[in-house]
């Protein structure tokens, strides 16, 4: 069967359009395998210590140092407990420029913490 050039170009363009575009969709990570209650002090602060301290411990906003992180996240408008997946902080670590520094596990813990009300516990 012989395919003419017009059909070949059309198929090529269709392939490029459907596979070459990356969606800005925010992934929802499975939070089912995490502890029942997420602790800011025991679960979230260590993420900041391991992933964020080189830039966000006083140098780059938000300051995520242990003594400042909770205040900066809550007063800076980074968290939305009504719509956790739309929290600016979650969006930044999921699809934004900080996505490369957070693991899927980090994102799952942070999302569950926000869903639980983002308590300073």
Please report the pLDDT score of residue 22 as a whole number: 42
Q: In this predicted structure, what is the pLDDT of residue 33?
A: 83
Residue 100 CA to its chain's centroid (Å): 9
Per-residue pLDDT of the chain in tens (121 residues, 90 and over written 9): 555 655 544 544 444 444 444 444 455 566 678 999 999 999 999 999 999 999 999 889 999 999 999 999 999 999 999 999 999 999 999 999 999 999 999 999 999 999 999 999 9
The domain limits of the chain are: 32-115
Q: How far apart are CA 66 and CA 102, in angstroms?
A: 18
The pLDDT value recorded for residue 18 is 44
| DSSP letter for each residue of 44-66 | IHHHHHHHTHHHHTTTSSS--ST
Rounded Cα gap, residues 45 and 109, in angstroms:
11
| 42: number of Cβ within 10 Å | 11
**C-beta contacts of 57-65 below 8 A and 24+ residues apart:** 62/89
- The CA distance from 90 to 114, in Å, is 9
pLDDT value at residue 90? 97
């Amino acid at each position: 069967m012989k395919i003419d050039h017009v059909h070949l170009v059309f198929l090529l363009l269709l392939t490029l359009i459907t596979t070459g575009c990356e969606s800005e969709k925010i992934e929802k990570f499975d939070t089912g395998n995490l502890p029942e209650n997420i602790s800011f002090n025991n679960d979230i602060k260590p993420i900041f210590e391991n992933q964020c301290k080189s830039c966000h411990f006083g140098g780059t906003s938000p300051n995520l140092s242990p003594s400042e992180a909770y205040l900066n996240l809550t007063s800076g408008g980074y968290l939305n407990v009504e719509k956790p997946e739309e929290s600016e902080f979650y969006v930044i670590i999921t699809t934004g420029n900080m996505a490369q520094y957070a693991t899927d596990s980090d994102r799952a813990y942070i999302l569950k913490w926000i869903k639980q009300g983002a308590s300073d516990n």
